[in-house]
Structure 1
């Protein structure tokens, strides 16, 4: 298991007003979270005060992550890759563009996301949950999940970690975490779907307890 930072540059490109989000008079935090957890229009393309505020494909935005992933894991044409929590499939598209011949598959819990997925990968995305992967043992050369596993409750998280270990020859996940009280408060203020509020040490406990041997990285709200 290794710590591989593939996401911080993309994450830090977004400016966040934590207090404005938690104190919004029309969409106070509890209301925004309740709406967001429906994983429908409001979560993806509704008001920014609820979540993304319009999750649209921007060519090249996720390309650096795709290129680093291909290089680090030595992926080649013909290899198979699964994206758990793929949303509209934008990372899948960038992987296919960066490495023609790569076999990509996606899984997401949101019917809305699948219906509005990028046309190049719409037929390659399965509707399902991270804690119940409908794939064979070691079916994929690489399985990765970006910003998904922290949305799972404890009983779901253990199943998901054991599942990604089972279906992937190599694994990588990125989750939200915090190292101090400032980052903890910012995470609490900003998130709308997170169920896991864990320090890096807590996450390490989860990995070991669940038998997860893949790589990982953390996103911090500093």
Structure 2
């Protein structure tokens, strides 16, 4: 198990005004709408969440880095837990033709509006009940998803990722290292349910027997 950072460059490419975020739209209303995981979450008002989640190729460099790091080859299978509209999985197919992809997401809206090239490989489901056999995938990834679960569901999800993956697994979650980053996270997020420091996340990894890699994003 190692700390491997594939995500922070993408995360830091977005400029954030945390005070404006918490003041310009009723926070409880934004969270309520976002947690329906529908239009408002993905393609609605930017003050609620993404404000239009469209493909722009930004995940291709992440896919390429993962292919190289995990030495993936054509015919290997990748699962994305919390795949959204499938943009990362599509970029995997661009970077490594012949790779087999699968994705699962709680959002029926995201699956319905997924990238056409990979839509047939995506399904609606919960991270805590992955509908796949043991040791089914050469790489299982979950990026900025699992912190949206309550702790009991997070426990189940991490054990499920451990079960369906072979050797290679990777997850990225939100975290904080000081009071400023905690406040920024609270101001910005609309769906997070687990607010953990790196040491607390490590406790969860140890408790669930998760043996994959991980990284964190911080709201600096």
Please state which band the TM-score falls in when normalised by the shorter chain: over 0.9
SS at match of 2:216: strand
The aligned residue for residue 151 of structure 2 is 154
SS at match of 1:138: coil
The aligned residue for residue 10 of structure 1 is 10
Deviations 1:86-107 (A, max 9, x none): 0000000100000000000000
1:70 aligns with 2:70: no
Q: CA deviation at 1:69?
A: 0.4
Deviations 1:163-194 (A, max 9, x none): 00000011100000000001000000000000
The aligned residue for residue 212 of structure 1 is 210
SS at match of 1:141: strand
Find runs of 4+ consecutive structure 1 residues off by over 2 angstroms.
none
**Residue from 40, 43, 50 that aligns with 1:42:** 40
The aligned residue for residue 114 of structure 1 is 111
The aligned residue for residue 103 of structure 1 is 100
The aligned residue for residue 181 of structure 1 is 179
Q: CA deviation at 1:28?
A: 1.2
The aligned residue for residue 55 of structure 1 is 53
The aligned residue for residue 189 of structure 2 is 191
SS at match of 2:129: coil
Q: State how far apart, in whole Å, the 2-side matches of 1:40 and 1:23 are.
A: 23
TM-score scaled by length of structure 1: 0.98
Deviations 1:84-132 (A, max 9, x none): 0000000001000000000000000100001100000111101101011
The aligned residue for residue 201 of structure 1 is 199
TM-score scaled by length of structure 2: 0.99
**Residue from 74, 80, 85 that aligns with 1:83:** 80
Q: State how far apart, in whole Å, the 2-side matches of 1:207 and 1:178 are.
A: 17
